[in-house]
Amino acid sequence: MSDSDAPAEARLIRRTRAAQIPKLSIRRAAELAGISEGRWRQIESGFQWVRAGDKARVDAPPETLARMASVLGISARELKEAGRSDAASFLMALQENERRIKEHERHFAGALSQVSDEELLDELGRRLRAKQRRSALTDDEQVQRQMEIDRGVRPNLDLTSEGRRRLGVVPPEDPTPDFDDEQLAAHERKPGDRHTSDDQED
């Protein structure tokens, strides 16, 4: 097979890369396209060696060819003219995605520029404090509770409003009153226990 027998897209890739100013090496082009240098060489030449002295034609997958075209600035129309409408569709989708990303970045940068450094720091501090409040237990308390669970011991939970706030059961602004001693005792009482008036008299 001669170079003239190479696929049209291979000739397009090779011709366009050679015309790049400044010069773009195959290694750098492959890196930008996210493929190996060897794979770029195969697609650009249009052939690969299959056995000693024999070459086989290489037709690039449409998505790979689209990424290569994007690196070199090849248009979707040029890919279509080379007989690769499938790769042209991938290239248009890739370009649209890149356009949306850039538009989002511009919008975000514009919105961020309207916020002062003090406001940003205040917002970061507020979110950090909120995250800390949502933390159920400290590291030491988590270890202690896990040890109790492993030993089959019922965790000794603080059921006051402050304790429930620390456990994340109610938000800090919850107006629920604290449990009194009698309510706490009733909560901790085992299901089989019975408290009668006689027990209270004893």
Q: How many CB atoms lie within 10 A of CB 189?
A: 11
Q: When comparing pLDDT for 179 and 121, which is higher? A: 121
Question: Over the chain, what is the mean pLDDT?
Answer: 77
**Cα 89 to Cα 1: distance, rounded to the nearest angstrom:** 30
pLDDT at 18: 94
Q: What is the dihedral of CA 3, 5, 8, 12, to 10 degrees?
A: 0
Is residue 130 scored above 60 in pLDDT?
yes
Q: Which residues contact 84 (CB under 8 A, 6 or more apart)?
A: 8, 9, 62, 65
Which residue range is the domain that position 89 belongs to? Answer: 3-110
* CATH number of the domain enclosing 83: 1.10.260.40
For residue 75, which of 87, 63, 59, 58 has the smallest C-alpha distance? Answer: 87
Lowest-confidence segment of 12-16, 69-73, 80-84, 168-172 by average pLDDT: 168-172
How many domains in the chain? Answer: 2
Boundary-marking domain end, from 110, 144, 171 = 110
Q: What is the mean pLDDT of residues 74-89?
A: 96
Q: What is the mean pLDDT of residues 77-100?
A: 94
pLDDT digit string, tens, across residues 167-200: 454 444 544 445 555 655 565 555 555 554 444 4
